[in-house]
Amino acid sequence: MDQTLVDNLRSQPRDAALFRNGDSKKEEPKMRTAYVALGSNLGDRVAMIEQACREMDARGIRVKRTSSLWETEPMYVLDQDRFVNGACEVETELEPLPLLDALQDVEKSMGRRKVIDKGPRNIDLDILMYEDETVSHPRLQIPHRLIAEREFVLRPLAELIPHRALDAARPWKLIQDYLNDLPPPAAGSSEPLSTLTPLRASVTPLHALRSTRPTQIMAILNVTPDSFSDGGVHLPPDVQSQTEAREGIKTNGSVLLSSLSPAYVAALQSTIKFFIASGATMIDVGGQSTAPGAPEVSVSEELARVLPAITLIRSMPEAAHVSVSVDTYRAAVAEAAVNAGADIVNDVSAGRLDDDMLPTVARLGCTVCLMHMRGTPATMSSMNEYPDGLIGTIASELRERVDAAEKAGVRRWRIVLDPGMGFAKVGDQNLDILRHMPELRQWPGLEGLPWLLGSSRKSFVGKITGVPKPEDRVFGTAATVAAAVQGGADIVRVHDVLEMAQVVKMADAIFRY
505 is known as an active-site residue: no
Task: Report the alpha-carbon distance of residue 240 to residue 257 in Å, rounded.
Answer: 15
Dihedral sign (CA 73, 79, 84, 85): negative
Catalytic residue among 45, 200, 246, 493: 493
User: 124-130 and 32-40: which strand pairing?
Assistant: antiparallel
* 8 Å CB contact between 499 and 258: no
Task: Report the alpha-carbon distance of residue 440 to residue 391 in Å, rounded.
Answer: 7
User: 491-494 and 452-453: which strand pairing?
Assistant: parallel
Catalytic residue among 65, 200, 458, 473: 458
493 is known as an active-site residue: yes
The DSSP result for 179-192, as a single string, is HHHSPPPPTTSPPP
CA distances from 403 to 89, 162, 407, 411 (A): 14, 16, 6, 11
Residue 464 contacts by C-beta under 8 Å, 6 or more apart in sequence?
Answer: 476
* 8 Å CB contact between 199 and 205: yes
Task: Report the alpha-carbon distance of residue 318 to residue 320 in Å, rounded.
Answer: 6
Coil, strand or helix at 211: coil
Identify which of 171, 129, 164, 165 has the alpha carbon closest to the alpha carbon of residue 146: 129
* 8 Å CB contact between 180 and 162: no
* 8 Å CB contact between 480 and 461: yes
Residue numbers annotated as active site: 458, 493
